[in-house]
Amino acid sequence: MKLKTVISKIEEEISIKQAEDFDNVGLLCGVPDRDVSGILVCHDALENVVEEAVQKNCNLIVCFHPIIFSGLKSLTGKNYVERAVLKAIENKIAIYAIHTAFDNDFFGVNYGICRQLGLKNMRILQPKENNLKQLTVFVPKEYSEKVKEAMFSAGAGSIGFYDECSFTVNGNGTFRPVEGSSPFSGQQGIRENADEDMISVIFESFKQGQIVGAMKAAHPYEEVAHQIYSLDNKNHHAGLGMYGELEEEMEETDFLKHVKEIFGLHVIKHSPFNHKKIKRVGVLGGSGAGGIRAAVSQKCDAYLTGDLKYHDYFLAESKMLICDIGHYESEQFVTQQLFEILSQKFSTFAISKSIEKTNPVNYFI
């Protein structure tokens, strides 16, 4: 299977277009037309991981963190990034990064954390804004279903855990073909009255090009009357962080012991105890100081993340227990999640999970 085909199938499950603007996701190095012999899934595509891919005959590395994050002006092997990329290129190994595309995915990083904690009633902590649009198009009644099917196939009409959502109103449309036109119905110079449906669908903004293209291809009119509106609605099924409820509320110390056991931690940095039982828990894998206020507003009793600074611990205002469990530690289940997704998606070649250590943070106990 060609690399470009493999990437296309991966993005059917996790669209990189939902990644944050600052991120560097997708194919970082590699030739799209090259055949894939095997996939190695990892957290960080470091030099030792690239060597592991060589030994396992895997010529595609699917990693969580992008090894290339900012621009490279040279490739001389002077630092860990250049050494990893050089080794990949020399061994004809492609590197594909998924990072915040998986952070923003409902079933991504934070879903994995919630699942490990045993949370229920999971919801997005920071729903994506400026992410939804509405398309309204006018279609001859007899073509209505064809146009709807085309838009649905291109990704329109998905709202949360429902798809093929639309609203249709029937009415009478008018138009008058003028010189230069080649009308589907009617004659030049004569106003035409048409029995038309007005179809409305909602879609995520990054899908606009493919949806409009599919709609126009299925539409019989030479000039397609349609409007696209940006919506103020938040997308509650995509975004950073999640929160949910434990089956049973827990004392603060018992909760911390529970977290230590699940994540295999030596230590947890946390804000002062407020002597409040823990029921609702917010999570944000990686560097999650930006989600503290959202967790407070959602009345979370505890919030798990990584990379917190001294002053971040004050932001809870004694309303919530803030826990820094470590950047890598909070994302440690990602490799297994990606392994499971790819294993289900591809059955014709080997999917391997990296066993190399890439966490740069160590603890002296």
Cite the annotated binding site for a divalent metal cation by residue number. Answer: 65, 103, 327, 331
User: d(Cα 328, Cα 323) in Å, to the nearest integer?
Assistant: 14
Q: Rg for the chain (alpha carbons), in Å?
A: 25
User: d(Cα 218, Cα 298) in Å, to the nearest integer?
Assistant: 44
User: d(Cα 351, Cα 335) in Å, to the nearest integer?
Assistant: 12
Q: Which residues pair with 5 in a beta bridge?
A: none
Other C-beta atoms closer than 10 Å to the C-beta of 18 total 22
Tokens, residue 23: 């991120």
Beta strands in the chain (DSSP E): 26-29, 38-44, 60-65, 94-97, 120-128, 132-140, 167-175, 192-204, 226-230, 235-250, 269-270, 278-287, 302-306, 321-324, 350-353
Token look-up 């250049």 returns 82
